Structure 1
Amino acid sequence: MESVKRLFSYFWVKLLLVGSVITLLAGYAYQLSTFYVVENNLTDRVVQSEREVDNRIIMIGIDEKSLTALGKWPWPRAYHAEIMRKVAEGGAKAVWLDAILSEPSHDQDDNAAIAEVAAKYPNVVFSTNYEFPRVQSGKGKLEYDRVNMPFFPVRPEQLAHVNVLPDRDNKIRTGILSLPHKELGMIPSVGVRLANYLLPEKEKIRQEKDGTWYRGSEKIPVNDRQEVYFSFAQRPGSETGFDVLSYEDVISGTVPPETFKNAVVLIGPYATGMQDQYFTPMSKSLSMYGVEIHANFIQSLLDNKLYSPLSKTVGWILIACMAFGTYALTNRFKGIRGLFVFIGLFVLYTLALIITFSYGILLPYVYVLLAIIAAYVYSVVDQYLTERQQRNRVTSLFVRYVSKSIVDDILSKKEEVQLGGVRRDVTLIFVDIRGFTPLSEKLEPEQVVEVLNEYLDLCTRAIFKFNGTLDKFIGDGVMGIFGAPIQTDNHAELAIRAALEMRKGSAELTERLRQQIGHTVQFGIGINSGDAVIGNIGSKSRLDYTAIGDTVNLAARLESNAKPGKILISENTKARVESYFIIEEMGEMKVKGKEHSVMVYEVIGEKLEDKQKEA
């Protein structure tokens, strides 16, 4: 009971620590908008949607055709006065010119023409432009240096500001609903001014005395700068979007005035050389003319597709909830279930973003996903390291008794180790130390063990080097398996290379014993290939991973007949490796347990060409 309490308290301490660290890291990045570009690119996919536009929004473009016909820009103000008169008399609800007429012309007739239109048609809207300082104080509301107003008298309701503020990636995503004026109060944007001409009376856009904005009875989510994010309806220059007419066609009379009946008309630059283009979320490569941006803003105001980012405080809370929740759940549901939990949280939060957007709220996306991913990755890594630690502890103990390949094979199985085995084509190697018994009579027991360990260690390293499995030590001998549990097609070749490695490595030990005690020992090795039953043999309480069968017996018999320093192999093994090694026929040999004699071969060494290839 006490251990359960300790485990439970350990989990909560770890949850508090991990959740807090992830929250602080993701929250810090969120506070600084570190992944600003990525965040906007991802949310753009949610909020920007091409859709059908209102055919009462018409653009008259000052295009290349018009510039060719009417001459270089700027044109006489009389042209603008004439085209606005045509549109207004054609029955348009409103007409707006995207040009700053803050300075009078040298031509008094031009000045008089534009002033006359302003006085005669109250639904003609003129542009004001605010000049902002390069750096804002950061107090919230936008500060400005000056306002460029029309040089001629206009009614307050004929004014609209044209300012837009690009984001840090130079894309336009927001519209400024209004800007302050010392004498006139608040001047609405072109979008607000023209959208109100199209909206029913009960749905018109207005600003209350407390600064709150409404579209009808619905609140518009704006920030301290009166900005609102909006959803573009069309891509730059879309042929299926807003109607765009040529300035020259309208002023020349090619387009009849009644075309503009009940419409709001936007007149502005529609040629690349006029430098009135901006990037938007609708295209990474194509910029959009300013008049198009205003048309899209009007459409969003009509559709009420406006939204505002969540406050930073609530964003921090969301990040914390996801960090703590993800770690707790993925720690509870491990493995594939934990992966499903992670994917589920990922999908659910994405759906939450889409749903909340429909209510005008934009959730932080990248930073919350960062918290989810970090919590999941830490949980997986923590689980892996814990399991690895336990596995290493078991392996370090178990590998002292059996081969590491056997340990890995057992640990890789999820189910309990079962009795029994499988038939497999393998190569068996038996090694025995010739002359060890006389040697042990001349040495002290401690010295005998030391010498034996050196020889057995040499055999073990040679077997492992060539991916063999150390099956067991048999007194002063060794039994090894090649081809199980790690399956290899060239197990016979690997077994012989291991035998040659043993013979080569024993030379130094033999020389040292000769100098110390005047006596030497050498290996006698037998190798056979063929089918054997490989698996866990024994009882439920004591298992032995080994090989059983006639193939094993013959390998043992070959070893018992091998003279010191000799490597004997069977005919079956010889057929598999004769292209790699120098092999001599020893003739038939009668071995214990076999009714008929068997053909025996001796491995002399590697063929010269094989050594050259290796070199």
Structure 2
Amino acid sequence: MNWKTTVIAMLAVFLVAVFTYTTGTGGTFHYIENPLRDALGSKSVMQREPDTKIKIIKIDSKSLEAIGQFPWDRTVYAKLIEKLEQGKAKAIGLDVMLPEPSKDPEQDRALAQVMAKYDNVVLPVNFNFPAKQKANDSLEYDRIEVPTSAVNAPQKQLAHVNVFPDNDDKVRRLIVGLPEKNGSVVEAFSVKLANFALGDREKVRWAAEEGKWYRGSEIIPVNGRNQVITQYFTSPRQEKDLKTGYDSFSFSDVLNDKVDARMFENDIVLIGPFTTGLQDEYMTPMSKSIKMFGVEIHANMVQSILENKFWSEVGKPAGIAILALIVLLGGFLFERFKGRTSLFWFIGLMVLYIVVFIAANEALHLYLPIFYPLLALILLYISSIISHYLAERRERSRVTGIFGRFVPKAVVDQMLASGKEVKLGGERMDISLIFVDIRGFTTLSEKLEPEQVIQFLNEYLDVCTKAIFKFNGTLDKFMGDGVMAIFGAPVRYDNHAEMAVRAALEMKKQTAMLEERLMEKLGFTVRFGIGINCGPAIVGNIGSEELRLDYTAIGDTVNLTARLESNAKPGQILISDNVYERVSHLFDIEGMGDIKVKGKELPVTIYQVHAEKSV
């Protein structure tokens, strides 16, 4: 993958990652981003140990059966609160909306007396939000539901119970406070309750002049909606597992003294619906299918405030910078390395970033973008694989073209197809060979300038090469003003003798114009002498395995071919008896008798090929 391609791929991946990351809250792929973040940021059972000083009194099915259909007589709440106050509870939060006055004013009066008597009792306020917000960084409401004036709850004892799910409908964030249109701020239910247990220097407060929320001297990292990511210490409906859930008690049991109110001494007590029928439950990161009751969520948020465990997210500019760094690093490594090394870097970068994410989450309480950097790495790796593949295809074509000018193209194709290293050695094969030499080349060299000689030689050799390739031959080598070619290797052909003869006739035909041009210019011409033989030979790679190899054929068949060529007169195509036996029915061939050749004890019968037989 060249740098131009790499840069284009990096830019494309970066733009895709940034666009999907910055689109809406949580980005386009929030349904992947959020679960990934939940999984990697999840805590162990020990880390999630619930605070024993937080207790839940459940308005559950048992209580509904004992006390009656909901809504209840408000004197019931007054009696329970009185018992808890006698048991010296630190703070009491009643998560039950009381928007309308009771039909019996005495009921409201009883609750109002309790509220006036004890200032550590908190009642809920509910902000009604439209179905869709106009902006991602603000929360606009239609109206506020407050407790009826009949219970005479002071403003300082009111707190909002709103939770606002993320795009995947899971509650991860505490809305620390909601501003009213008159400029005042309504604290969260959990904030109000937690403040009763915190010292004066640790309380959660709103600094209006700064527009910031503090817990003690530390800034709470809220977003534009006054939300902060909190920790969950329990799973949904943990009443069946007292070891990991908040201590919880049935409303009716506490009311009827089956549970001693002194058990709640110095505790923060939350009272709220704990049955599906009362429709106060939400999805959380703690379960994929089971919802958590609102009172449980408030209890977890209370503990997050008490332990000062708040998480923040990197801003969009920092997130984009992280994506840019990932793309630059990944693009550089995937461009530089290929194959297994590239895969190693890909896996390594994925693991490294996940480790960094977990470390930032644990040590800094900071959420980095997780899916989008991983997506960028995946896209970069895929693009690098595709780019490397295309580059290798181009390189293969280039090498085949260039290397094929020096060694037989068929050999190059065979080497690339096999995927094996070139090694020394050969195999015995039945082949045909052509040796070609220019007769009169020495005289020609004396009459022409060196540049003209080279030009002429290239033209002749080009004719030879094209003729050999036309009939599927392998150009073995150029030998000065001569050529050696193999037919039937490395690709096997049964009619290799016929192919060799046809290639020789093609050479003779195509050189006619060259010979005529030389005659006009110099008054003489040069012509080919060609020898053709067939038979067994050893074909393969010879030479130095480390430095240079030569694909060629060796053996007596090759030697005889060279002798035939040396005996051929200008314009003659001489073939051996072996070739004659295979092609005599195809070509017009003349017997030339026997000749004595070097290296042979007995004379060799030779033939001259004139042309293809007419039909």
Instruction: Normalising by structure 2, report the TM-score.
Output: 0.69
Deviations 1:370-412 (A, max 9, x none): 3344445445544554444333211123346656564256569
**Residue 23 (1) aligns with residue 37 (2):** no
Q: Distance in 1 between matches of 2:182 and 2:548?
A: 98
Give the alignment partner of residue 297 of structure 1, picking from 274, 298, 301. Answer: 301
| CA shift for structure 1 position 228 | 0.7
Give the alignment partner of residue 43 of structure 2, picking from 42, 45, 49. Answer: 49
RMSD: 4.9
Which residue is equivalent to 1:398? Answer: 403
In 2, are the aligned partners of 1:20 and 1:320 still within 8 Å (CA)? no
Deviations 1:174-226 (A, max 9, x none): 11001123569222111111222233443222221222112222211001221
Question: In the TM superposition, what are the counterparts of 1:243-262 in structure 2 within 5 Å?
Answer: 243-262=247-266
Q: Distance in 1 between matches of 2:557 and 2:83?
A: 105
In 1, are the aligned partners of 2:64 and 2:70 still within 8 Å (CA)? yes
Q: Distance in 1 between matches of 2:43 and 2:556?
A: 75
Deviations 1:302-353 (A, max 9, x none): 2322122222222222222332343345445566555544444434433333
Which residue is equivalent to 1:237? Answer: 237
Give the alignment partner of residue 107 of structure 2, picking from 106, 110, 120. Answer: 110
Which residue is equivalent to 1:369? Answer: 374
In 1, are the aligned partners of 2:124 and 2:147 still within 8 Å (CA)? yes
Structure 1: which amino acid aligns with 2:308?
N
Q: Distance in 2 between matches of 1:143 and 1:118?
A: 30
| CA shift for structure 1 position 52 | 0.7
Structure 1: which amino acid aligns with 2:51?
D
In 1, are the aligned partners of 2:172 and 2:285 still within 8 Å (CA)? yes
| CA shift for structure 1 position 279 | 0.9
In 1, are the aligned partners of 2:488 and 2:494 still within 8 Å (CA)? no
Q: Distance in 2 between matches of 1:40 and 1:162?
A: 23
Q: Distance in 2 between matches of 1:563 and 1:310?
A: 86
Which residue is equivalent to 1:544? Answer: 550
Say which SS state the counterpart of residue 203 (structure 1) adopts. Answer: coil
In 2, are the aligned partners of 1:499 and 1:525 still within 8 Å (CA)? no
Structure 1 pair 368–76 and aligned structure 2 pair: CA distance change class (3 A): same
Structure 2: which amino acid aligns with 1:54?
D
Q: Distance in 2 between matches of 1:156 and 1:206?
A: 16
Which residue is equivalent to 1:219? Answer: 219
In 2, are the aligned partners of 1:431 and 1:525 still within 8 Å (CA)? yes
Question: In the TM superposition, what are the counterparts of 1:408-419 in structure 2 within 5 Å?
Answer: none
Structure 1 pair 408–190 and aligned structure 2 pair: CA distance change class (3 A): farther
Q: Distance in 2 between matches of 1:299 and 1:137?
A: 32
In 2, are the aligned partners of 1:422 and 1:533 still within 8 Å (CA)? no
Structure 1 pair 219–413 and aligned structure 2 pair: CA distance change class (3 A): farther
Say which SS state the counterpart of residue 494 (structure 2) adopts. Answer: helix
Structure 2: which amino acid aligns with 1:143?
E
| CA shift for structure 1 position 248 | 2.3
Give the alignment partner of residue 96 of structure 1, picking from 93, 97, 114. Answer: 93
Q: Distance in 1 between matches of 2:68 and 2:558?
A: 102
Structure 2: which amino acid aligns with 1:221?
P
**Residue 276 (1) aligns with residue 268 (2):** no
Say which SS state the counterpart of residue 299 (structure 2) adopts. Answer: helix
Q: Distance in 1 between matches of 2:395 and 2:152?
A: 85
Structure 1: which amino acid aligns with 2:494?
A
Q: Report percent identity of matched pairs.
A: 40
Which residue is equivalent to 1:316? Answer: 320
Q: Distance in 1 between matches of 2:263 and 2:465?
A: 107
Which residue is equivalent to 1:516? Answer: none
Q: Distance in 2 between matches of 1:285 and 1:458?
A: 72
Which residue is equivalent to 1:120? Answer: 117
Structure 2: which amino acid aligns with 1:63?
D
Q: Distance in 2 between matches of 1:172 and 1:97?
A: 21
Q: Distance in 1 between matches of 2:292 and 2:475?
A: 74
**Residue 78 (1) aligns with residue 91 (2):** no
Which residue is equivalent to 1:194? Answer: 193
Question: In the TM superposition, what are the counterparts of 1:520-539 in structure 2 within 5 Å?
Answer: 534-537=540-543
Which residue is equivalent to 2:162? Answer: 163
Say which SS state the counterpart of residue 119 (structure 2) adopts. Answer: coil
Q: Distance in 2 between matches of 1:194 and 1:551?
A: 103
Deviations 1:41-64 (A, max 9, x none): 211123332511101111112222
In 1, are the aligned partners of 2:424 and 2:542 still within 8 Å (CA)? no
Deviations 1:148-191 (A, max 9, x none): 11112112232111001111111111110011235692221111
Structure 2: which amino acid aligns with 1:134?
A
Structure 1: which amino acid aligns with 2:143?
R
| CA shift for structure 1 position 133 | 2.4
Structure 2: which amino acid aligns with 1:395?
T
Deviations 1:99-131 (A, max 9, x none): 110111213332222222212222111111111
Give the alignment partner of residue 34 of structure 1, picking from 24, 28, 38. Answer: 28
Structure 2: which amino acid aligns with 1:82?
K
Q: Distance in 1 between matches of 2:558 and 2:304?
A: 83
Question: In the TM superposition, what are the counterparts of 1:496-507 in structure 2 within 5 Å?
Answer: 499=494
Deviations 1:256-303 (A, max 9, x none): 111111111111111122221211111111111111111111122223
Is 67-76 or 536-545 further displaced after alignment? 536-545
Which residue is equivalent to 1:428? Answer: 429
Structure 1 pair 552–60 and aligned structure 2 pair: CA distance change class (3 A): farther
Which residue is equivalent to 2:354? Answer: 350
Is 218-227 or 314-323 further displaced after alignment? 314-323
In 2, are the aligned partners of 1:61 and 1:270 still within 8 Å (CA)? yes
In 1, are the aligned partners of 2:476 and 2:484 still within 8 Å (CA)? no
Structure 1 pair 539–505 and aligned structure 2 pair: CA distance change class (3 A): closer
In 2, are the aligned partners of 1:77 and 1:111 still within 8 Å (CA)? yes
Say which SS state the counterpart of residue 291 (structure 1) adopts. Answer: helix
Count residues with an aligned counterpart.
Answer: 513
Q: Distance in 1 between matches of 2:545 and 2:178?
A: 88
Say which SS state the counterpart of residue 228 (structure 2) adopts. Answer: strand
Structure 2 runs not aligned, ≥5 long: 435-458, 504-531, 560-575, 584-598, 600-615
Instruction: Normalising by structure 1, report the TM-score.
Output: 0.69
In 2, are the aligned partners of 1:232 and 1:282 still within 8 Å (CA)? yes
Q: Distance in 1 between matches of 2:545 and 2:195?
A: 89
In 2, are the aligned partners of 1:470 and 1:481 still within 8 Å (CA)? no
Structure 1 runs not aligned, ≥5 long: 1-9, 434-445, 461-468, 483-493, 510-522, 554-558, 567-592, 594-615
